[in-house]
Structure 1
Amino acid sequence: MNGNGEEVAVYEIAVVVSQSNVIKDKEIGDCLDILVAEFRNVGLIVDIVSGVSDEFIKVAAPPVTLGRAAAEIQLKKPTRMDLQFEWEEMDAFLKQPDGSLFSWSERFQCYHHLIYGIVNKSNLMISLKYDGKEFCWEVGQSLLQTLESKGIVKQVFPLHAEMKRKKLLRSWALNWWDLTDQPIDEIYSYFGTKVAIYFAFLGKYTQWLFFPAALGLIVQLVDFGSLQLLALPVFFISITLWAVLFFQFWKRKNYALLARWQINCTIGIGQGHKLLGMKWSYRQPPVEVIKTLGTDKAREKELYQRHEWLGHLMRFRNDVFVILSIICLQLPFELAYAHLYEVIGSDIIKFGLTAIYLFVIQYFTQIGGKISVKLIKNENNENSENRADSLVYKVVFGLYFMQSYIGIFYHALLHRNFRTLRQVLIQRLIISEVLENLLENSLPYMKYSYKKYKTIRNKKKHENNKPSGKIHVSTRVEKEYLKPAYSASIVEELEDGLFDDFLELALQFGMIMMFACAFPLAFAFAAVNNIMEIRTDALKLLSMFKRPVPRDAVTIGAWINIFQFLIVMSICTNSALLVWLYDQEGKWKIEPGLAAILIMEHVLLLIKFGFSHFVPEEPAWVRANRVRNATQAQDVCSKQLLRTISGEKTSNESKKNE
């Protein structure tokens, strides 16, 4: 609100237009003038801002404009069940946690429909002018897509809402007093579901880390005397039970968040990938073919079965290809590095070897990511989230699992060199995480500074013979345009920056869990790192990157299965570590102590799978609300159906009487 009590427009989308369009073509048919006029015709509020080298069209939409767009795209919104949105019945639809009618994801879909839905509805082609050249706006073609194809519109991206951004900076990114507390509802309203679920998971994971961190400090620093041999097995059992319970209670919190945000547990194609011109081609079910079959049920069943099994075979083929590539190419490379690290005595040479190794694996990772994307294109995945999950499995289990753990396995399981093992763990947990945090927070600023410098330099070259004052980037929209996008380091087609953030957590969890008995103090380092991670990730999203495109999600996806797999692996690896600690002579005698460790391993595996049924994933109050809402929705549908049938019956009888 401004001082006069009027509502101030919040600009949430920016369209970047080449500046040469404005300087040279101030005449009838000018692209910028036509684009702005069309934006206003569909009810958008438009503001034009001149930058150093480009023009920026900031776009806002009043509630009524968003409501009409939501009705046109048949947006599904929850009442007591998901219904098609109608602006006239807006009071029937549930509000967001911040009191607004539409979530950020829903508003983004409406913006996309409005700005990309401007098409040439006339019967003739319209002539447009740009940089002294003319081109045609074809009948039925999108105006914005036409301008994008000609290079006139450079980019369309979401804008930060400055008031909400500053509020989140104060209450979240810069609020160091609340170690793990976060305004999750405000994060959901501002960034969308997927980002909010990530930070909810990170916060709960960090809270639960306090227990194993304190226990690890006690085991590492306290001398238990004659009971010292029992300290590590007790610690191992405790952290295994802790990990199993944590993920069961995380699932409960996940359900509670979805219920609070009025989100169904089933989502369709992720909107984030197909909005703003981002497309993805994949094999669709043979629905169109089936429509032509009429009532031929046998043929329809055959097509569905063929499609289903073809998808399974393609996924199996791709998985076999990835596994064989890892065994034949990456495994020898990782083992060679681990062996050289073990036999080399000079720390300087070890440092140089590690630097070369880190440089080479960057290329391994990039090549593996590109190959994985090409393989996934041939899979029968139902939606973009399933394709992203498939990428996570292939890349994380393949490339990163080998890179992160094979060397540690080599030191721990083959050489039984616990001194080197602890050295590698400390190096990975402390040095690597500190360096990663520094890089992931400094690189965006360096990229922004370079783009800013390049923009100003190009402008000076363009105005070489013209006297002008000092050139600098002053507008907020241009500063946001120069910031890097929140994208994944490995591939941008399927994943955003959350891939790297989740990957960092998964690798950390694997380190502290699988080698817990070798270095109990690791949990304390992980807890301190994650407290820092919450604030640095928040600062990164709010200040260093463009506002990310909202993405739909109901869980953390494939990552939950990766964490569960790491728990099972940790039971096996820690049991092996305990065996080798108590069998230092290497005689492999099944003495009572070693037999107890083997029995403990089997018992913990049973407990791990048993606790999945002991602790219910869905809270009782969430399940009760879901059942009640489903029952009420069914009653409404039944009554409506009965009225329709009764009306048709009455109409038919009156026609017969006539």
Structure 2
Amino acid sequence: MFRRQKAQDEGEKDPLLDEGESESLSDFRPLVVLEFSSKTTAVTREWMKAKIEASKKQGGAELYAKTVVANDGEERVLLVSAPQERLLQGAEQMGLKKKYKDGSVRPFTFAERQNVEDYTESLEGMLTMSQSQYIIKVELDNIRALETENHIPGCSDRKARLYKGKSILSRMVSCHLLDKMYPVHNPDQLKRLQHDWYHLHSPKQLMGGQPIETIRGYFGESVAMYFAFLGHYTKALVVPTVIGVLYYLFNESGRNDFVIFAVFNMIWATVFLETWKRTSSAHAYNWGTLGRKAFEEPRAGFHGKLGVNPITGRSEPVYPSWKRLLRIYCVSFPIVILCMLVAVVVMMVYFWAENIAKAKHKEENTMLTKGLVLVPSIVYSVVIILMNQAYRTLAQYLTKNENHREQSAYENYLIVKLVLFDFVNCFLCLFYIAFVMQDMNYLRQSLAILLIVQQLVGQLQETLLPYLLMRKRIKKGEKSGLDHVSKPLHEIPRSKQAEVESLMDRYEGTFDDYLELFWQFGYVFLFSAVYPMAAFWALANNVMEIRTDAFKMCRIFQRPFMEPAANIGAWQMVFEVMGFIAVMTNTALIGMSPEIQPLLEGYTTVQKVLIFVAAEHLIIFIKVVLAFAIPDMPEWVETQMGRIEYQSTQALKKQVSLTEGKDPPAFGSSGGGVVDGGDDDEEEEDEA
């Protein structure tokens, strides 16, 4: 796509050229790429470039920008960078934490830079490349329109009007003036990461071991936290897998000993989740995200009438909460209920088709009809995956329509919608078989088919789809005259790097990955009593999942912007709730089993129910005790956090005594990203 780079000054060489091909440009290291659409005029592009380079007082970002010329001769691409001192000042304004020489991890200040553990006089290396790119992203997102700017220059679209305080980048995305915004890869670091990540070198890697610190340094905390959770979960599956396989191999006399296995799984799920909290808090402390609270700027898609934020005093869109609640309860909620009813109807169609297949087999009893009995379950497993994917698109639309101000609120409401539907779509048929039909053999068969088929289809998507995407990218690149598009980035000349990365697919985040682990966790632990081998299939899938996800991150997708994360967010609560539901389902299955019923002869129905309610509450009590017994933070993290709090209190007292009432300097805060690109059908409620 890119043909050459146009230098900012006369005689300046391309900064992406290989070493020795151009003069050294120490002040410019391309970090972020902006690609304008073909309909964006030269006037608009030059205005945007000027805004990026302008001072803060002029509504700019005080960054460097260089233009890249495309094959059609249009200057549609900007490479954005910043000097190291500017990036460190941005790190201070955003409250990024660094590790100091005294061992503490606390907010970075430019004045104390010499006390930082990785301090150098040149200031290089004090920020990871992903942190530098995140700072630039925040600065670009926070380029706001001035009072005198009421329309994007060079654009006649009515939606291109501006008002004071509006994010210009967000407006350009919603008006389809900006196609892409992504951080560039570092080929050398990526090569080392590939070698350590998805190439197997030891048995530890096979069981979920990953270079988490390297992943965090390259992709940021949010991505690293997901892979850390995936690795921790994979290791936790080893114990129930071993027990389940032994039970499956040596349980020939009957199934009267599965009770111990089911109770163990229920307790083990709690141990896994509680130990994960400790692991995530240790990671978050080392990464400087533990306890990090930052004021959230409006997300890119948020819109409303122009008002004043009572906290910051800045002009920004304001949207009444009653309107949002109206959209949630009168639009989103009824549609979600309707979708769940559709899932119920699809489930009933599945049972109808399976009954027909069973009747046919009973009538003819041939190998063909025996295979025919499995077809409805296999088809239903694939339909569940397709329905989940279709519903996700609908859920995203509904959540955008609710117009949440903060990105965190948007994600939480989206998670609720996705989990509700996926729970009904994936597990309702199993609940029906277990507690309405009360057919344990049928439940075991259905659970095995659903788990294995869905994971098999998922793995095909994980392996085949990336290959097809890569082939598509290679063909597109070859048509554009790119000879290096099929090679890894470290084998591509730097002058071609941005051009190749432009053809890569955008990484859509970890939502789908967490959802996959959610329903897998449900299949493994909700019905442990009837299918001990579930953990084995989940473990086998996750070992491959780590490798395929790593390959896609390194070879298929554009590099995502880092996002600070202290934990897995709302997903922690989702898994914990699933753990409590597992107690209820497994206790009920144990009580219904033919092996347990003879032990309860002589008891009335009410007494039987009370016995198993008591057993259920006992297991829940044990889970709660374990949750309290296993601290959420390691002791050393609690000690360090206490030290930081004490030092902060002492520093504040000292500052107050020195300033004697003078106002402390105010710093800006990080803003939302242009991740979702705004809303194409954004309401025109904005008033200049």
What's the TM-score, normalizing by structure 1? 0.75
What whole-Å deviation, never above 9, does each CA across 1:263-285 have from its counterpart, x for those lacking one? 232434668x94xxx43348999
Matches within 5 A, 1:195-594: 195-223=223-251, 225=253, 230-268=256-294, 274=299, 278-281=300-303, 288=310, 321=334, 324-325=337-338, 328-345=341-358, 346=369, 347-348=371-372, 351=375, 355=379, 358-359=382-383, 362=386, 366-367=390-391, 369-370=393-394, 373-374=397-398, 377-378=401-402, 383-397=406-420, 399-450=421-472, 453=475, 475-487=496-508, 496=509, 498-582=510-594, 589=601
Provide the C-alpha distance between the structure 1 equivalents of 2:616 and 2:24, rounded to a whole number of angstroms. 67
Provide the C-alpha distance between the structure 2 equivalents of 1:327 and 1:127, rounded to a whole number of angstroms. 43
Aligned position for 2:649: 634
What whole-Å deviation, never above 9, does each CA across 1:195-236 have from its counterpart, x for those lacking one? 1111111111111111111111111111475xx555211111
What whole-Å deviation, never above 9, does each CA across 1:88-147 have from its counterpart, x for those lacking one? 543355669x994335564234323555677999999999889xxxx9999999987797
What whole-Å deviation, never above 9, does each CA across 1:339-361 have from its counterpart, x for those lacking one? 43244234447636854784587
Provide the C-alpha distance between the structure 2 equivalents of 1:170 and 1:289, rounded to a whole number of angstroms. 47
Provide the C-alpha distance between the structure 1 equivalents of 2:38 and 2:330, rounded to a whole number of angstroms. 50
Aligned position for 2:132: 107
Q: Is the 8 A contact 1:220 1:521 kept in 2?
A: yes
Q: Is the 8 A contact 1:575 1:597 kept in 2?
A: yes
- Against the structure 1 CA distance between its residues 382 and 91, is the aligned structure 2 distance closer, same or farther, given a 3 Å change threshold? farther
The SS at the match of 1:249 is: helix
What whole-Å deviation, never above 9, does each CA across 1:588-613 have from its counterpart, x for those lacking one? 85669978766433311221222221
Deviation, 1:570, is: 1.6
- Against the structure 1 CA distance between its residues 258 and 114, is the aligned structure 2 distance closer, same or farther, given a 3 Å change threshold? closer
Deviation, 1:626, is: 1.0
Residue identity opposite 2:505 in structure 1:
P
- Against the structure 1 CA distance between its residues 68 and 642, is the aligned structure 2 distance closer, same or farther, given a 3 Å change threshold? closer
Gaps of at least 5 residues in structure 1 are: 293-306, 460-468, 488-495, 649-658
Deviation, 1:255, is: 1.1
The SS at the match of 2:33 is: strand
Provide the C-alpha distance between the structure 2 equivalents of 1:15 and 1:643, rounded to a whole number of angstroms. 45
- Against the structure 1 CA distance between its residues 597 and 451, is the aligned structure 2 distance closer, same or farther, given a 3 Å change threshold? same
Provide the C-alpha distance between the structure 2 equivalents of 1:253 and 1:340, rounded to a whole number of angstroms. 46
Deviation, 1:183, is: 1.4
Residue identity opposite 1:631 in structure 2:
Y
Q: Percent identity?
A: 22
Provide the C-alpha distance between the structure 1 equivalents of 2:313 and 2:79, rounded to a whole number of angstroms. 44
- Against the structure 1 CA distance between its residues 479 and 327, is the aligned structure 2 distance closer, same or farther, given a 3 Å change threshold? closer
Q: Is the 8 A contact 2:144 2:165 kept in 1?
A: yes
Provide the C-alpha distance between the structure 1 equivalents of 2:323 and 2:51, rounded to a whole number of angstroms. 46
Q: Is the 8 A contact 1:70 1:110 kept in 2?
A: yes
Matches within 5 A, 1:33-72: 42=62, 44=64, 46=66, 48=68, 50=70, 56-70=77-91
Residue identity opposite 1:604 in structure 2:
I
Deviation, 1:527, is: 1.4
- Against the structure 1 CA distance between its residues 53 and 123, is the aligned structure 2 distance closer, same or farther, given a 3 Å change threshold? closer
| Residue in structure 2 matching 1:622, options 637, 646, 657 | 637
Deviation, 1:336, is: 3.3
The SS at the match of 1:200 is: helix
Q: Is the 8 A contact 2:296 2:406 kept in 1?
A: yes
Deviation, 1:326, is: 5.3
Provide the C-alpha distance between the structure 1 equivalents of 2:435 and 2:544, rounded to a whole number of angstroms. 33
Provide the C-alpha distance between the structure 2 equivalents of 1:516 and 1:144, rounded to a whole number of angstroms. 50
Aligned position for 1:174: 199
The SS at the match of 1:154 is: strand
Provide the C-alpha distance between the structure 2 equivalents of 1:587 and 1:141, rounded to a whole number of angstroms. 70
| Residue in structure 2 matching 1:161, options 144, 169, 186 | 186
Deviation, 1:395, is: 1.7
Q: Is the 8 A contact 2:284 2:565 kept in 1?
A: no
Residue identity opposite 1:166 in structure 2:
K
The SS at the match of 1:156 is: strand
Deviation, 1:312, is: 8.2
Aligned position for 1:301: none
Residue identity opposite 1:384 in structure 2:
Q
Matches within 5 A, 1:73-88: 75=95, 77=97, 85-86=109-110, 88=111
- Against the structure 1 CA distance between its residues 145 and 39, is the aligned structure 2 distance closer, same or farther, given a 3 Å change threshold? same
Higher relative contact order (CA 8 A, sep 6+): 2
